[in-house]
A and B are shown apart, each in its own frame.
Chain A
Amino acid sequence: GNSVTQMEGPVTLSEEAFLTINCTYTATGYPSLFWYVQYPGEGLQLLLKATKADDKGSNKGFEATYRKETTSFHLEKGSVQVSDSAVYFCALSAASGGSYIPTFGRGTSLIVHP
């Protein structure tokens, strides 16, 4: 079946530090890949996405590149801010028994200190 594995948190960084959150996946067929973010007290919202190999999704200074050869979609940001503190979910959408149902990782909590 389809699955997503992402690094466990919490990840604690100082403001302006470099961020990497690792995400690897297993999927049948050719998945689309997503990162969602959940800010405190809010619902999940899409951060970025990529739909084919070597595509780079980017938004709000975050980037992730679809690496088919390593089945990875790592999230990066060059300089984090306190406002980036949130839980980040890696997700994929691929065929599973005839349906395309988004599969999510467990989430990685990011805490950014001033």
Chain B
Amino acid sequence: SQQGEEDPQALSIQEGENATMNCSYKTSINNLQWYRQNSGRGLVHLILIRSNEREKHSGRLRVTLDTSKKSSSLLITASRAADTASYFCATAPGTGRRALTFGSGTRLQVQP
């Protein structure tokens, strides 16, 4: 898989359920960031997790990072219809380089 690849590509759940999205990457990173994008709109920053962190929380969001497996997961608990969007992970390599490499994203559909 390419740097920053998410799975599943698409996920459909009922309101109130939890949604889990995964991201895998290939090269070493300084940090990994998750973004949300509503259809045709801008990218909203959700959370940043650094390579020396294993887990972070922000409201209903929980992000984990396993650098040994080069993977991250984003958990949205108690989902709402308003959570319907595409979710992307993006990795920053560090070592002086800040360019983010984005994955293809997971399209989340939350049914009311």
Do A and B associate with each other?
A: no
